[in-house]
Amino acid sequence: MKKPLLFLLFVITTALFSNIMAQTITWTEKTEAVDLPTGVKFFEGIRESPKFKGWYLEVDLNESEIALVPYLAKNGTETITTFASRENTFATINGGYFGGGISYSSLVNPGQVLAQNISSLTRNTKSYPVIRSMFSINEDRSMSVDWIYHFGGGIDNLYSFEAPLSYNSSSDDPLAAPLKENGELFSDAFMGVGGGPVLVKGDTLNVTYNEEIFWGSGVGRDDADPRTAVGYTNDGKAILMVVDGRQGSSIGISLPELGQLMIDLGATEAINLDGGGSSQMAIGDSLINRPSGGSFQRSVATFLAVVDKDSIPSAPVVDFEEIIDTGDEKATVSQGWVESANSGFYAETPSLIALGGDGTTSVEFKPALPDMGLYELYGWWVTSGNRALKAPYIVTHSEGVDTVYADQTINNSQWVKLGQYTFTGTESDKVIINNSGVDAARYVVADAIRFVGIEDNIGISNETELNETPSSFKLLPSYPNPFNPSTTISYQLNESGTIKLEVYDITGRKVSTLFTGFKNTGTYTHTWNADNNASGVYLIKLNMTNSVSSFTDIQKVTLIK
């Protein structure tokens, strides 16, 4: 009789334990307690055993007045409430993984790749190529979760794959790197945020933890941790979820449990985003959860935000563009450079790096511009903590030679504007990157340079433009920008009126009044000498009023000392 009794007790105990573990989460709608637009609902979930506390937003993208947009943090990382306040978001969750102020996960805006999923990881002292995942919002507002790989910078090098590489937790040897012919150009890419691993694919729990190589990363598959997830339903609703943990009110949740939870809420596909202390949700500029207790906020690199439809970024409009990579014929590379092992370089030529020195190590970029005119100049580099704080870009243009300095410890794998210049359209135009003035313990990066013709200005010199009768009210591009210590600010008036030309810092504090008074129709210039101001971004504000009209225009300038 003892054996059956013990067996019966075991069965009863197991059943009771299973029943406790199977306790359902009670979700309560809290939409009326917060300020959210039509189409967005807010829920809080609680479970007593095991302890669980989480929140999710249901965002109906069938509602045309709202949008779901991924964002890159300013200057590497920032807190979620700082970001939400600046961008005036309705609600926000954290995005994907990062380190050292660099996003390790993709961030796609219309026509632009602002950050890339890492393409390889070091495990067991070996480099493992890896395909990781991204949540996408397409132009028609449909959504998808895809496994993607960047074969270089730019939207034309973003490819999707039917599956990630077939690693397992005991993979001793790296697999071969992906090939373009085995994937498909991600032609539908409109906006997206990377993370991983995939949780749900095709209505089925499908946690590709091993395949996306999260083993050895500190991201546990079965650990009960704070988590962030995003997914979508078949009827066009996005689900943005944050789960708390490690503070008494919740023990967190494992990745398989998170995936099942998303399925229970109707998700047909879902992806995990960065978790732990990075798991954060804000409504307006108020933090909803406390991932590590108190008022802690970890600065993060990317965000996914619910915003007004007018906040959807526009694809860049380019009248003329020329990109020169270090591997191109128009780039002359001296001795002293080595290839960087970091991913995120432009196109298929790895970034080149060199320690600071006397300037003899250089790359010269020689464009073939179609005509004399005003062009925007951009640089691309791969960021790391040991990169140059003031990498010199020496620009030869129609009005002489300027040196622009870039902080290459930030703004990873994206086009960074270096300024606007009137180039001659002849062989005298060039940009040189070298290692002069760089600390001997830091590396300067040479990767790619981009020239963008400003519409209606190619083939027109500044003098001709200034002599024409203005057809509109506007601030013209300040020159140089970035600058040190002075820049010339030009504006045109198609009506007479009282003018205020002022300078504000990025916090909105006025730092200088350049002009106040009456001006007739015409084009005018003023010089701002910022010798007594700190490096940073400033706003030039122009206001004109008269008896029938009032106009305001604002532009950003960057002071680099």
Q: For the domain that residue 414 is a member of, what is the CATH number?
A: 2.60.120.260
**344 within some domain:** yes
Do 367 and 502 fall into the same domain? no
Contact status, residue 314 vs residue 107, Cβ threshold 8 Å: no
Measured between alpha carbons, how far is 207 from 201 in angstroms, rounded to an integer? 9
Contact of 158 with 189, CB cutoff 8 Å: yes
* Total structural domains within the chain: 3
pLDDT of the residue at 291:
57
Average pLDDT of the chain, as a whole number: 87
Q: Is the dihedral of CA 147, 151, 154, 155 positive or negative?
A: negative
463 located within any domain: no
In this structure, are 266 and 383 located in the same domain?
A: no
- Per-state percent for the chain, helix, strand, coil, to nearest 5: 10, 45, 45
Burial of 5 (0-12, 13-18, 19+ CB in 10 A): exposed
Whether residue 190 sits in one domain with residue 65: yes
Query: Do 434 and 500 fall into the same domain?
Result: no
Distance CA 417, CA 451 (A): 10
Residues 503, 475: contact at Cβ < 8 Å?
no
**Of residues 209, 211, 204, the one with CA closest to residue 231:** 204
Spatial CA neighbour of 71 closest among 49, 53, 48, 88:
88
Checking if the pLDDT of 558 tops 70, the result is: yes
pLDDT in tens, 353-371: 999 999 999 999 999 998 8
- Least confident stretch, 171-175, 442-446, 463-467, 473-477: 463-467
Average pLDDT for 335-342: 93
Is the separation of the CB atoms in 264 and 239 below 8 Å? no
Structure confidence at residue 67 (pLDDT)? 96
Mean pLDDT of 37-62: 94
Tokens at residue 333, please?
A: 């590379």
The 3-state DSSP class for residue 73 equals: coil
Q: Does residue 486 share a domain with residue 441?
A: no
Question: Is 17 part of any domain?
Answer: no
* 3-class SS letters over 100-135: CCEECCCEEECCEEEECCCCEEEECCEEEECCEEEE
Do 55 and 176 lie in one domain? The reply is yes
Q: Which residue, 259, 281, 311, sits at the end of a domain?
A: 311
Q: Which of 1-15, 24-38, 235-249 has the highest mean pLDDT?
A: 24-38
Greatest CA span in the chain, whole angstroms? Answer: 107
Q: Is the pLDDT of residue 441 over 90?
A: yes
The more confidently predicted of residues 489 and 30 is 30
Strands 320-325 and 331-333, by their bridges, are unpaired
Query: In terms of domains, do 271 and 344 share one?
Result: no
pLDDT of res. 66: 96
Give the list of residues 6+ apart from residue 151 with CB closer than 8 angstroms, or none.
157, 158, 159, 178, 180, 348
Q: Are residues 439 and 376 in the same domain?
A: yes
Q: Does residue 7 belong to any structural domain of this protein?
A: no
Residue 378, both tokens: 């951009």
Tokens (6 digits) for 225: 């941790």
pLDDT score at 246:
60
When mean pLDDT is compared over 140-144, 382-386, 419-423, 552-556, the highest value belongs to 140-144
Tokens of 27: 């979700």
Q: What is the mean pLDDT of residues 143-171?
A: 91
CATH of the domain at 533: 2.60.40.10
In this prediction, residues 203-213 reach a mean pLDDT of 96
Per-residue pLDDT, averaged over 327-342, amounts to 94
| pLDDT-based confidence at residue 454 (cuts at 50, 70, 90) | low
User: 74 and 162: one domain?
Assistant: yes
pLDDT at residue 21, rounded to an integer: 43
Q: Is residue 9 part of a domain?
A: no
> What confidence tens digit (pLDDT) does each residue in 478-503 have?
888 888 888 888 888 888 888 889 99
My answer on whether 266 and 283 are in the same domain is yes
Q: Is 412 inside any structural domain?
A: yes
Question: Do the domain assignments include residue 350?
Answer: yes
pLDDT of 378 strictly over 70:
yes
For residue 542, give the nearest of 484, 497, 488, 502 by alpha carbon: 502
Q: Which two tokens stand for residue 246?
A: 């490690």
Domain-embedded: residue 402? yes
For residue 289, pLDDT over 50 is answered with yes
Give the domain range for residue 399. Answer: 320-458
Report the amino acid identity of residue 535.
Answer: S
- Asked whether the beta carbons of 44 and 30 are under 8 A apart, the reply is yes
Q: 10 CB contacts (<8 Å, ≥6 apart)? A: none
Same domain, 396 and 266: no
- Examine the fold and report which residue of 458, 482, 506 is the final residue of a domain before the chain moves on: 458
Residues 292 and 326 in one domain: no
Domain boundary among 458, 493, 522: 458
